[in-house]
A and B are shown apart, each in its own frame.
Chain A
């Protein structure tokens, strides 16, 4: 039995092009900060990668700051911008209630330990932040806003945010705007230039690159206080020896995924719509969460009434279908999703949710596999009930 991997939003297989680019560097010596020939050779790899990513996302090479992944980029943007702006007396962080924990938790940490006032931006039933919500939050005291952060697309329910309109509102008031675009890059068009976005997070392994590498796009003139201090690499914003092999694989993945984005999205959206239709056939009372129209092409997120998401996941896993509850864990104990709760779902709907996410290797056969077993799995999970 071949398993069906329906969890590309957690991580997606590396693209062969990216594996080739990365492995080509693994045997090489050289620190990109060194002055000798080996250093120059490595620096060449890093800088070409920087240019590749910049070109793919409509940014300038100098705007690409490499990090060790999406979480670090989010931390750098939120903590760094807060610290930079606090000097001028701004202490309010406006952040959407549906952010990934990599963005939400740094904000709450700043609130708990660094004097920040964290204000969560409400979302509608589809998980969207309305530009008017941001405007009202800023207007309560425009001078005191340190930054605003709203993700480009939601990792759980797949809702695509109106980031351009939100960034426009922030720009009107001179508020730095950060967006976590980890799920968006490669799935929908992402262009940094002229977007009004000051900082944008992306991650290697979500686009077919390696794990452990990511980047923060930082517009010119936006200077967060560093989180990591050391050798002064990356505009002195992010110290640490650059991981040249990972960066080479990352850049190749971004270039490839962005070049194929239109084609991939069309294919995935059709496959995803088929998945939704067939799950509905098997489980008529299933609820599709997230924006029915403005959503990531590879995302299908459901609530199965009367089921516990964990139990359903276990039953599907036992039959070779891999998906996610998309909820945070502490000691492995599932908590109701903060995203669904923010969207107004009750605790039962939040606990009975599962995310299926498609990516570049997804096939119809995998959707067939899910469609074959979801009905029986839901029936069993319902019998086990909500403990």
Chain B
């Protein structure tokens, strides 16, 4: 229970359904902040209080589990090292994979619980994951990395509801968090300054920004500050010859080089993704499988053919995509049903 509206209503629903429910708030920061800074963050003292108050209103026991060390190691350090390697990680996805449905689930099972329920907007039916009916709030993408085993112990009580319905229900149940704003940003970067956060940990590493021909067109203070598809914040003095905007095409950590170019060069249609997880009803696609793929959170969905070969997933898009960054997950769907996922290694 994060202290937000979704987990509060999720807890209320399963408690009402007759399960023996215990509320757990995860302490993810060794130094929780005392004051709420805007809408973001899931590690504040106030959020912990909000969660406890919700549990009291629902009438379930409530405990804070200290996951700060695990979170720091498996999510924060992973986030920093992924950027350092020129990739773009998704920490929410990593948190689901390593904290909520690994550290928390393992502990819960050992203590005699049967499942972990969260306020995610996604459905799990007979261990198979699918999208929420609220397309704008659907979180199946950040859960797509979970294994069958993990999904088998997952309950998403909000799976059939829209966010508006959840807020309305929270108000009806007398949960004070009904109007609490949604959290959007990375919870461990309270001020939202990802580049500053990375710079504090990775130091400055000046390097060149080059165009596709290799000509140096500018400089940067650290290649980790860039994401493929990024347009803003390149700080290039000279305009492009054609006057069109330029985008980050690739990040090369070894030579510390950021390559930029026109939007047309950003388009890719062949994606190779590694460390696949097959958690859906179809099993491994040894032969090319016609399905759809989502390449980032709240991103567009592309028709594709996916095939497992040599431990990697080869994805051929029906139409080119832009802004495909290594490190993000490629989550494969058949209709609204998740069939598997893998981490994007390269795209062309």
A residues sitting closer than 8 Å to B (CB atoms) are 310-311, 314-315, 317-318, 329-334, 380-381, 383-385, 387
Contacts and interface: CB of A to CB of B under 8 A. Distances in A.
A381 B107 CA distance: 9
A332 B64 contact: yes
B48 interface: yes
Contacts of B64: 329, 331-334
A283 B25 CA distance: 29
Nearest to B106: A384
A387 B65 contact: yes
B61 A317 contact: yes
A8 B281 CA distance: 55
Nearest to B51: A332
A314 B66 CA distance: 14
Contacts of A384: 106-107, 110-111
Given A331-B44, A334-B64, A334-B66, 9 more contacts: A318-B61, A331-B45, A331-B48, A332-B63, A333-B68, A383-B110, A387-B65, A387-B66, A387-B67
A330 B111 contact: no
Main secondary structure of the interface of A (DSSP, over half): helix
A311 to B, nearest CB: 6
Nearest to A310: B63
Contacts of B107: 311, 384-385, 387
Nearest to B47: A331
A333 B66 contact: yes
Interface in B13-39: 20, 22, 25, 27, 32
Minimum-distance CB pairs A-B, first 5? A332-B64, A384-B110, A383-B110, A331-B32, A333-B27
B110 A318 contact: no
Range for the number of chain B residues in contact with chain A: 20 to 34
25 contacts: A310-B65, A310-B66, A311-B107, A311-B111, A314-B22, A330-B32, A330-B45, A331-B27, A331-B44, A331-B48, A332-B27, A332-B63, A333-B32, A334-B66, A380-B110, A380-B112, A381-B111, A383-B111, A384-B106, A384-B107, A384-B110, A385-B107, A385-B110, A387-B69, A387-B103
Contacts of B45: 330-331
B163 interface: no
A387 B111 contact: no
A92 B277 CA distance: 63
B36 to A, nearest CB: 13
Nearest to B46: A331
A190 to B, nearest CB: 36
B52 interface: yes
Contacts of A334: 64, 66
Given A332-B25, A383-B110, A314 B32 contact: no
B173 interface: no
B55 to A, nearest CB: 11
A384 B69 CA distance: 16
Contacts of A314: 22, 61, 63, 111
B290 to A, nearest CB: 43
Main secondary structure of the interface of B (DSSP, over half): mixed
Interface string B183-198: 0000000000000000
A333 B71 CA distance: 14
Contacts, number: 56
B70 interface: yes
Contacts of A331: 27, 32, 44-45, 48, 64
Contacts of A329: 64
Interface string B84-120: 0000000000000000000100110011100000000
A132 to B, nearest CB: 38
Contacts of B52: 332
- Between B25, B44, B52, B65, the greatest number of chain A beta carbons within 10 A of the residue's beta carbon is seen for B65
Interface string B233-274: 000000000000000000000000000000000000000000
Contacts of B111: 311, 314-315, 380-381, 383-384
Contacts of A311: 107, 111
A311 B65 CA distance: 9
Nearest to A333: B27
- Between B20, B44, B48, B69, the greatest number of chain A beta carbons within 10 A of the residue's beta carbon is seen for B48
A384 B109 CA distance: 8
Contacts of A330: 32, 45
B27 A318 contact: no
B70 A387 contact: yes
Contacts of B61: 314, 317-318
Contacts of B32: 330-331, 333
Interface string B123-137: 000000000000000
Contacts of B112: 315, 380
- Between B27, B69, B111, the greatest number of chain A beta carbons within 10 A of the residue's beta carbon is seen for B111
A333 B28 CA distance: 10
Contacts of B48: 331-332
A331 B25 CA distance: 10
- Between A329, A385, A387, the greatest number of chain B beta carbons within 10 A of the residue's beta carbon is seen for A387
Contacts of A315: 111-112
A199 to B, nearest CB: 32
Contacts of A332: 25, 27, 48, 52, 63-64
A3 B48 CA distance: 27
A331 B34 CA distance: 9
A331 B50 CA distance: 11
Contacts of B44: 331
A318 B70 contact: no
Contacts of B68: 333
Nearest to A334: B66
A372 to B, nearest CB: 16
- Between A310, A314, A381, the greatest number of chain B beta carbons within 10 A of the residue's beta carbon is seen for A314
A310 B26 CA distance: 13
A315 B113 CA distance: 11
A315 B107 CA distance: 12
A324 to B, nearest CB: 13
Contacts of B69: 387
Contacts of A387: 65-67, 69-70, 103, 107
A330 B66 CA distance: 11
Contacts of B70: 387
